[in-house]
């Protein structure tokens, strides 16, 4: 299998996901919330043209279950009314049907064999059962390292045990297959953009729409200021530890 991209248009998010979601495939989305936008903005350092990344989250397709729905395995922060899910979790793909919130979608098919898919899902469910956490600290450490590429092959300075943010979660699962999706970068320094650009042979299925207002100067400054505050706070706490 070589690198191949298939552009899909004229269908809804739901149709796209239900058509291409298969167990063991990797999904990505580009979102429009302030957090999604901040992540996309920070990843511009990985693009030769300096444009924002299209991607802000990565997950693994689990497949269709007895309830007739497709499910995903992911590490995410999700707030539902008074309930907060923070870390490894299972969700229906209906979570990503909203075309305004998730204008960019991708499905990556690495051509895995059935036994490899079984290993991915087994290990993913194990992380869910153990309640592996989502670490914002590690995410901030990754964003710091983006400005110093030589640090990306080293341990994340804010790494914690039993913590994996979204792309690190997916990299961790593929490592059980002996597959390094992002060679030269430690799992806890990877980003959605890294996964999307993985040199491992695969087929990309893409469904993308414009992201309104994502590149305004005012929004960029607001996001960067927020990131600087977070980084400063983490550095201060690290010095006190």
Quote the CA–CA distance of 204 and 76 in Å, as a whole number: 23
Task: Say whether 158 sits in a helix, a strand or coil.
Answer: coil
Reduce the DSSP state of residue 24 to 3 states and report it: coil
State the SS3 of 159-181: CCCCECCHHHHHHHHHHCCCCCC
What homologous superfamily does CATH list for 4-234? endopeptidase domain like (from Nostoc punctiforme) (3.90.1720.10)
* Paired tokens of 177: 């297959």
pLDDT greater at residue 202 or residue 223:
202
Give the start-to-end residue ranges of the domains of the chain: 4-234
pLDDT at 25 over 90: yes
Q: Mean pLDDT over residues 184-213, rounded?
A: 92
> Computed from CA positions of residues 83, 88, 94, 97, in that sequence, does the dihedral angle turn out positive or negative?
positive
What are the tokens at 133?
């956490």
The yes-or-no verdict on residue 84 having pLDDT over 60 is yes
Q: How many angstroms separate the CA atoms of 213 and 211, rounded?
A: 7
pLDDT of residue 58: 98
Strands 203-208 and 4-7: parallel
Residue 203 to residue 191: CA distance in whole angstroms: 19
Specify the pLDDT at position 226. 61
pTM over 0.75: yes
pLDDT in tens, 211-240: 755 444 455 556 556 655 655 654 455 455
Question: For residues 169 and 221, which has the higher predicted lDDT (pLDDT)?
Answer: 169
Task: Tell me what the mean pLDDT of segment 60-73 comes to.
Answer: 96
Among the ranges given (59-73, 91-105, 166-180, 213-227), the one the predictor scored with the smallest mean pLDDT: 213-227
């Amino acid at each position: 299998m070589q690198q191949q991209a298939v552009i899909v248009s004229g269908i809804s998010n739901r149709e796209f996901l239900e058509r291409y979601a298969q167990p063991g495939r990797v999904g990505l989305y580009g979102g429009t919330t302030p957090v999604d936008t901040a992540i996309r903005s920070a990843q511009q350092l990985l693009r030769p043209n300096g444009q924002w990344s299209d991607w802000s989250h990565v997950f693994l397709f689990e497949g269709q279950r007895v309830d007739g729905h497709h499910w995903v395995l992911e590490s995410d922060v999700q707030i539902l009314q008074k309930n907060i899910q923070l870390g490894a979790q299972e969700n229906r793909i209906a979570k990503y049907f909203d075309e305004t919130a998730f204008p960019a979608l991708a499905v990556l098919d690495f051509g895995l064999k059935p036994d490899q898919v079984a290993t991915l899902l087994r290990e993913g469910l194990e992380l869910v059962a153990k309640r592996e956490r989502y670490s914002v600290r590690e995410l901030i450490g990754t964003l710091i390292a983006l400005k110093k590429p030589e640090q990306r092959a080293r341990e994340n300075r804010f790494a914690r045990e039993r913590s994996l943010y979204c792309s690190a979660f997916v990299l961790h699962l593929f490592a059980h297959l002996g597959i390094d999706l992002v060679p030269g970068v430690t799992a806890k320094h990877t980003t959605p953009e890294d996964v999307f650009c993985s040199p491992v042979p695969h087929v990309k299925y893409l469904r993308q729409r414009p992201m309104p207002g994502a590149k305004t100067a005012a929004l960029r400054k607001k996001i960067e200021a927020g990131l600087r505050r977070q980084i400063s706070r983490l550095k201060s706490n690290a010095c006190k530890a």
